[in-house]
Each structure stands twice: as C-alpha cells, then as structure tokens.
C-alpha cells in the first residue's frame, strides 16, 4: 500500500454508499481510477442489472474505447467479479483498459468470485493489493450474510425507556425517542430491502412505515407485517399505496382473503419458513421494528443478525408498563450479545451489536 | 490565556485528582508553579486540615521563605481561598511569594470565597485569568453540589441486562457485568465519602462493600445500609471490620438495639431526613448501589444527582425477572433525564447523566 492508497480507497467506499438500498441482490460497490496522483474517473453500482462500479469509472474516463486509463490504478471497494452475470466480467474490462494496479477493499464472498478475480488480474500481469478495509467490509455486511446463510439479513430495531419499557400502559403509543433518533431509523430503513413489524404494532400505532420522501428508491421497498398472534384490518395505513416503490406483504399462518385484496399474502408455518419465503422473493435484508413479542420470538429463533437498541432518557416503570421484550423466557436462552457500536442521536443513545452465537 | 496555559492547567487538574476521596469537606485541588516555561513546583490538597494545593506548590519551591517563586505563574484548579480556615488564606501567601500571574480553572462556589480571592489578587497587582475549565469544574462537582444544597451529593449506580432486569429470579444474585465494570465501580466508590445500599441487597448479596485494597484512604469510608422495608442480620459481612477506615451506619425508622452493637444506628423517618442526618455527620457524597426499590424511592424523592447505569449484553426477560427499578410509579413522575457521559467498560456500557429537574 502506498501513502495515498487509503485515501483513494476511502473515496471508493464513499461512492459505494450512494448505491445503498438500491443494489440488492448485489452489494453496493464504488470505484476510483487514479493516474499520476489524479482522479481520472469515478463510479458506483447504481442498481442490480446496471453496470458495475469499475465499468462506471472506466466509462467516466472514456477509457473503454480510448485506452485513457492505460497505466492507471483502480481503487475498488469490492473484488472485481470474474464471471459473466447480467454484465460481462469486470476483470476482462480492467485488463482490456490497460490498468496496471488494482487496490481492493474487500474480497468478494460470492463463491463465484471469492479470490478468482484477484487471481485472474494477477495472471494478466496486474499488481493487485487486497486492503481488507474495515469500511469496505461494513458495506458488504448484508450481502456477505445473505451469501453465507441463504436467508435475509435481519436487523432488530427496538426503543425503550432507560428502565426497559416501551410504554407506560398497554395499547398506548408513546413518543419515546427524539426527532434525531427517528431520522436515524429512517436511514436504517433505507439500508434494508424491507421493514417488518408485528400485527400488534399495526393495530396500536397504525404506522405507514414509508422511506419516502427522504430517499429516491430505484427498487421496491417492502413493508412486511407478520401476523402470528392475530390479524390486521385491511383499512390500516400500511396498505395505502404511497408510491409504486412501496409494496406490502402480509405473512400469516392461514389464508387471509380480505388482506389479499390490499397486499401480497404469504402463508408460512413459522418465522424461519416466513423468512425463507421472503428471501426467495428477492428480499435480502429486513429491518424489524418490533413490537416486543415479535422481537423476542425472532431472538428465540436465532434469526437476529444485528440489534439497534435505542434508549430514551425517561423512566416508565409502573405496574402496567410494557417491557421491551416479552412472551419468551429469554433468560433460559442465555444468549450472549456484543456491543460494537454506540451512537448518540439527539437525547437518546443507540446501542448496536450482534448476537455472538450467530457468528460462532 | 497563553499557548501553554491549558497544558499547565491540565497538569494542575491531574494533581488535584490525587486528592479525590480524601479531601471532603474540601474539594480536591491541584497547583503548578511555572517560571520561564519550566515547572518549579507542584502540589495538591491531600486532606482536610492539611495545606492547600497552592501552599504545597510553594513549599516544593521553598518559595515561602526564599522568594524562589517571585515572578512565576501559578496554575490552580480552583480559585485560591481568601479566608482563614484551618489554614491561613492562600491569597496572602501568593501575594507574599511575589507571584505575578495566576491562572484559575474554576471559581470557588464557597460563598466565603466565590470571586473574592480573584479580587484580592488583582488588587495586589497580580494578573488573574479565570479559565472556566471543564475538567476543573468536574473536580468540584460534588463540592459545589454540597455547597448549594446542604445535603449529600448522591450518585445512583445501577446495573441491568439490556432488556432492563437485574436478575432472572428474585433473591438470586447474578454476575451481570464484567470485571472491568466492577473495577470502574470500585473507582466510583473511591470518589465518594460513602456507599449506600438497601436492606434487601444485604440480605440477598451479603456484600462487604469495601474500597480497599485498591485505595489508601486518609479519611473514613462509610458503608450505609438503609432499612426501610426490613432489617438486616447483625452477622452480615458488612459489619466485619476490615480496617479502621471503614465504618458502617444503619439507618432505620425505629431503634435497633441488636444492630447498635455492630454499627452506628441513625433513626430517621424518611429518606430526606436520613440524608440530612448523614450530611450533618460529615458525609458530603454517597454512591448508592441499589437495589431496585431503594433506587426508585430515591428518584421519587428527587435525591439523585447523578446516575451510572451499567448495561450488560445479556437478556433476562422472563415471568420472574426483577426489573432494575420497582415499587414506585415512575411513569407518573415524568422525570426527564439527560445522558452526558457514555463509557464502554469491558463488555458493558455505562450511561451516566443527571435528572434535569434537579438542576432547573
């Protein structure tokens, strides 16, 4: 690695982030072409089916036709693909363009590439450096997970008072957290293919759960309602069509003819089967926003890959207060968690982390 | 302020910290004497009755007799006192030593000084700068509070699972937090004059609650048991005399002849009266380490000045789990908290902050 390598790679990561939310089933990827210390082309993967980041960067220099990138260094957040998918293999385009050096943020976990891209480039005489960059790895966390587990990456988002409750009385919606926290959650939604809630949340809060207008989405954003313990009214706000970008899926244990008129209905016998069906319909990542029963059930089923736990500077303890998780003997499960990220959003704290057993 | 002022003031703050836990009813104070950019003397206030920090620094230069500090700059974390207490006023010693400039971290909240020290020095022709330094202010947080409220500064320390419980079953002690968190708490204990727990904690955990061997205390360290809902056995470990430095106080609603043989007994009708009695016996600060009933009662009585809320990466929810606070309708109180400090200790997170109403 040369002195400026980490800066140009950081720029590639930054470009990659523009694709977040739009690239699934592909990961977001960014690329920068540098010659004589100067950026001559930049690009990122806009959406599945569109050109890969490397090609976008080459196009920006007109290098595909003119050899304008001959002798340049390519910085790319993810290993270039070595297989023809919806687009030709990037390795061939890089070789054809006369690029002499490639700096890669993270290796591609896709078994069809996974090191073979690096090997192909080296065989063509190109110098290749694998940076194993932390930010590049975060960009593909969802993609890696889906590759390895063949089910949706599931993030559980909860919010509670400092003493562990979501509301002081059952059935009452309280605005626990700050405006800043809610903006943070909106950005979390953008990062995922879908939002999921339990039927109870729809009955009590009747939320719309949209990501617009803060994000111009290039692919559908799914709103999923999991009806395990009861159903929801077909006049709920979640069934209002906001834009063509938002689609609603209902997961039930038995058929629900009324709901079929307002949403797609998937019949699944348990949570694992439900997630499997969602994965097969192209949903790679889900942000679950509760409530307390669904959250506890997902943890019990070992389906939670990351938690975002918002803590509001309030106390709600009283005999009727509703705990943040309920309905499952979580103590008996003895799950070990790990905090890896702490964020202050307005007046609130968000603790994020993983369940250790999921990674072992 | 000159370029190096903040560094020398930081050194004065660092020296002050050596006195933490030993100086009550005085605050910890540190002082540095600098001439021609070189430190010629350092000192801190060791304990009540011992020389103040400024005098220790002057003694270190032998300046009191020899004028060795003539023309020097004095950096001191707290405004020099202007009244004769157990020691003569520091302002006079500073003037006598021929010091030409004084940089002060924080103004003395003691009404007997509170700006008059600065005024006295200026009248003597000395240049005085008040830095209003954040660290200097933290060093006197406890002292300022006691000055203003005439009752002990009370910090409430709690530990819970991420879902808000202290144990999965009543009466069972669980090691929720990491070794690092327990070391952090031991340091918190050192910062305060006393530790306080409820009778339930003594009955269930039977802790010794000592600060030794990690701290050589120059003044007694009090261990307080508040018996509101029941009494404790006189054979509890808290009554074992570890060293002469640790003394145990029992607070009850009615006389307790058996306990009088093993501890000092204070009879008080409520929490406010109990804290008043402790303040009058020379206790300026208390770290309360629970349990859930005492914690809730102290919050209800608006007696908590700071909370340290440890969160362990575990889940304990089940039908028998004991919540972190209980016995009081906290939701009805609508207390607003503010997080001002986040710490990661081992696997745990500690959120610290204040109750906003206490400061308004």
pLDDT for res A216: 67
* pLDDT tens-place string over residues A130-177: 999 999 999 999 999 988 888 999 999 999 999 999 999 998 777 899
Q: How far is CA A98 from the centre of its chain?
A: 34
Average pLDDT, chain A: 91
* Active-site residue (options: A54, A79, A289, A300): A54
Nearest beta carbon to residue A316 from set B299, B330, B336 = B330
pLDDT over 50 at A360, yes or no: no
Q: What is the pTM of this model?
A: 0.87
* pLDDT tens-place string over residues B27-86: 999 999 999 999 999 999 999 889 999 999 999 987 555 678 899 999 999 999 998 777
Rounded to a whole number, what is the distance in Å from the CA of A139 to chain B's nearest CA?
25
**Contact list, A315 vs chain B (CB under 8 Å):** 299, 325, 330-331, 333, 335, 337
Over range A261-266, report the average pLDDT: 92
pLDDT for res B212: 64
**Contact list, B329 vs chain A (CB under 8 Å):** 317-319
**Contact list, A337 vs chain B (CB under 8 Å):** 162, 313-315
Q: In angstroms, rounded to a whole number, what is the distance separating the alpha carbons of residues B193 and B205?
A: 22
Relative to beta strand B101-106, strand B127-130 is parallel
Rounded to a whole number, what is the distance in Å from the CA of B96 to chain A's nearest CA?
50
Rounded to a whole number, what is the distance in angstroms from the first to the last CA of chain B? 32
Average pLDDT, chain B: 91
In the stretch 147-166 of chain A, residues with CB closer than 8 A to chain B read 160, 162-165
**Which of A276, A277, A294 has its CA nearest to residue A264?**
A277
Q: Do B317 and A328 touch (CB under 8 A)?
A: yes
Over range A211-217, report the average pLDDT: 64
pLDDT for res B316: 96
User: What confidence category does residue A61 fall into, taking pLDDT thresholds of 50, 70 and 90?
Assistant: confident
pLDDT for res A245: 67
pLDDT over 70 at A331, yes or no: yes
In the stretch 234-253 of chain B, residues with CB closer than 8 A to chain A read none
**Contact list, B333 vs chain A (CB under 8 Å):** 315
pLDDT over 60 at B195, yes or no: yes
Q: In angstroms, rounded to a whole number, what is the distance separating the alpha carbons of residues A288 and A217?
A: 19
pLDDT over 90 at A220, yes or no: no
User: What confidence category does residue B354 fall into, taking pLDDT thresholds of 50, 70 and 90?
Assistant: very high
Neighbours of A43 (CB within 10 A): 26
pLDDT over 60 at A65, yes or no: no
pLDDT over 80 at B256, yes or no: yes
pLDDT over 80 at A359, yes or no: no
pLDDT over 90 at B175, yes or no: no
Q: In angstroms, rounded to a whole number, what is the distance separating the alpha carbons of residues A220 and A198?
A: 21
pLDDT for res A121: 97
pLDDT for res A134: 94
Over range B277-289, report the average pLDDT: 93
User: What confidence category does residue B360 fall into, taking pLDDT thresholds of 50, 70 and 90?
Assistant: very low
Sorted by sequence, the CB contacts under 8 Å of residue B269 that are 6+ apart come out as: B253
pLDDT over 90 at B112, yes or no: no
Of chain B, the percentage scoring pLDDT greater than 90 comes to 71
pLDDT over 90 at B153, yes or no: yes
Two structure tokens written together for A94: 């890089």
pLDDT over 90 at A21, yes or no: no
pLDDT over 60 at B280, yes or no: yes
Radius of gyration of chain B (CA): 22
For residue A213, say if its preceding peptide bond is cis, omega within 30 degrees of 0. yes
Q: In angstroms, rounded to a whole number, what is the distance separating the alpha carbons of residues B353 and A17?
A: 35
* Active-site residue (options: B14, B38, B42, B54): B54
3-state SS, chain B, equals CCCCHHHHHHHHHHHHHCCCCCCCCCCCCEEEEEECCEEEEEEECCCCCCCCHHHHHHHHCCHHHHCCCCCCEEEEEECCCCCCCCCCCHHHHHHHCCCCEEEEEECCCCCCCCCHHHHHHHHCCCEEEECCCHHHHHHCHHHHHHHHHCCCEEEEEEEEECCCEEECCCCCCCCCCCHHHHHHHHHHHHHCCEEEEEHHHHHHHCCCCCCCCCCCCCCCEEEEEECCCCCCCCCCHHHCCCCCCEEEEEEECCCCHHHHCCCEEEECCCHHHHHHHHHHCCCCEEEECCCHHHHHHHHHCCCCCEEEEEEECECCCCCCCEECCCCCCHHHHCCEEEEEEEEEECCEEEEEEEEHHHHC
* pLDDT tens-place string over residues A67-106: 789 999 999 999 999 987 777 899 999 999 999 999 999 9
In the stretch 319-348 of chain B, residues with CB closer than 8 A to chain A read 319, 321, 323-326, 328-333, 335-339, 342, 344, 347
Tell me if residue A54 is catalytic.
Answer: yes
Residue A341 and residue A155 in contact, taking contact as beta carbons nearer than 8 Å: no
Q: Do A326 and B342 touch (CB under 8 A)?
A: no
């Amino acid at each position: 690695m040369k002195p400026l390598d980490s800066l140009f790679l950081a720029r590639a990561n930054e470009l990659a982030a523009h694709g977040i939310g739009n690239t699934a089933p592909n990961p977001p990827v960014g690329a920068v072409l540098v010659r004589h210390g100067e950026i001559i082309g930049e690009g990122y993967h806009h959406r599945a089916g569109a050109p890969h980041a490397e090609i976008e960067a080459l196009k920006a220099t007109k290098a595909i036709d003119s050899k304008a990138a001959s002798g340049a260094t390519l910085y790319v957040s993810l290993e270039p693909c070595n297989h023809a998918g919806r687009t030709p293999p990037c390795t061939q385009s890089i070789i054809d363009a006369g690029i002499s050096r490639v700096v890669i943020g993270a290796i591609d976990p896709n078994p069809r590439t996974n090191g073979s891209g690096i090997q192909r480039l080296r065989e063509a005489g190109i110098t290749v450096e694998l940076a194993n960059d932390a930010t590049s790895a975060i960009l593909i966390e969802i993609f890696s997970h889906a590759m390895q587990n063949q089910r949706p990456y599931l993030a559980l988002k909860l919010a509670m008072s400092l003493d562990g409750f979501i509301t002081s009385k059952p059935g009452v919606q309280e605005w626990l957290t700050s405006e800043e926290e809610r903006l943070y959650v909106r950005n979390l939604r953008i990062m995922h293919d879908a939002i999921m809630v339990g039927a109870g949340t729809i009955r009590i809060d009747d939320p719309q759960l949209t990501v617009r207008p803060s994000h111009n989405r290039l692919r559908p954003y799914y709103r999923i309602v999991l009806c395990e313990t009861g159903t929801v009214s077909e006049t709920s706000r979640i069934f209002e069509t906001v834009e063509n970008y938002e689609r609603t899926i209902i997961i039930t244990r038995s058929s629900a003819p009324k709901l079929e008129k307002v949403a797609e209905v998937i019949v699944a016998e348990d949570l694992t089967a439900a997630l499997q069906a969602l994965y097969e319909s192209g949903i790679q990542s889900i942000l679950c926003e509760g409530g307390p029963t669904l959250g506890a059930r997902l943890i019990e089923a070992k389906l939670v890959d990351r938690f975002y736990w918002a803590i509001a500077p309030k106390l709600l303890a009283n005999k009727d207060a509703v705990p943040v998780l309920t309905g499952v003997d979580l103590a008996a499960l003895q799950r070990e968690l790990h905090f890896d990220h702490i964020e202050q959003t307005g007046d609130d704290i968000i603790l994020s982390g993983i369940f250790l057993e999921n990674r072992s």
